[in-house]
Amino acid sequence: TPHCDARAFWVTGLGGHRTVVESWGYTDEVVAAHGVENLGYARQSFPDQALLALNDGVFSRPTRADLDRLRTEHGVRWLFADSRAGAVSAELAGLAQVRLVAGPVTVYELNRQ
């Protein structure tokens, strides 16, 4: 969602894992952009749009290459998908192992290929 409140940190806070995209509203870069386009820091865009596109793409149109890239370049081992945040492709379950389903949330494990 454009200009969503980027301060949520409940996945990392409760899960105890780092994330590639979550709570960027607290980063130095975004806090420094406070007021740009008349938006407060909490509503600034993610600073690395290419990384955001890669991240979002693995949920909406996953490919083995993109999952491998997240794993090798960013150390991603788990994917946290919440269908309330956007559609999650059924193809993802064929590329990553489903480890947990709880209501609208599915957690996937990326396996080494």
For the stretch 66-112, pLDDT in tens is 999 999 999 999 999 999 988 999 999 999 999 999 999 999 999 86
Q: What is the pLDDT of residue 6?
A: 80
Instruction: Let me know whether 43 and 58 are in one domain.
Output: no
The pTM assigned to this predicted structure is: 0.85
pLDDT at 113 over 70: no
Q: Is 21 helix (H, G, I), strand (E, B) or coil?
A: coil
Instruction: Let me know whether 57 and 103 are in one domain.
Output: yes
Of 47, 63, 85, which marks where a domain is finished?
47
Percent residues over pLDDT 70 in the chain: 97
pLDDT at 48 over 90: yes
Q: What is the pLDDT of residue 25?
A: 87
Instruction: Let me know whether 36 and 58 are in one domain.
Output: no
Instruction: Let me know whether 34 and 64 are in one domain.
Output: no
Domain count for the chain, please give it: 2
The Cα 92–Cα 106 span in angstroms is: 10
Instruction: Let me know whether 6 and 37 are in one domain.
Output: yes
Instruction: Let me know whether 54 and 106 are in one domain.
Output: yes
The Cα 92–Cα 58 span in angstroms is: 7
Partners of 97 in the β-ladder: 109
Instruction: Let me know whether 55 and 110 are in one domain.
Output: yes
- The pLDDT-based confidence of 13 (bands split at 50, 70, 90) is confident
Instruction: Let me know whether 39 and 69 are in one domain.
Output: no
Instruction: Let me know whether 54 and 14 are in one domain.
Output: no
The whole-chain average pLDDT of the chain stands at 91
Structural domain span for residue 4: 1-47
- Mention every residue, 6+ apart, whose C-beta is less than 8 A from residue 113: 64, 68
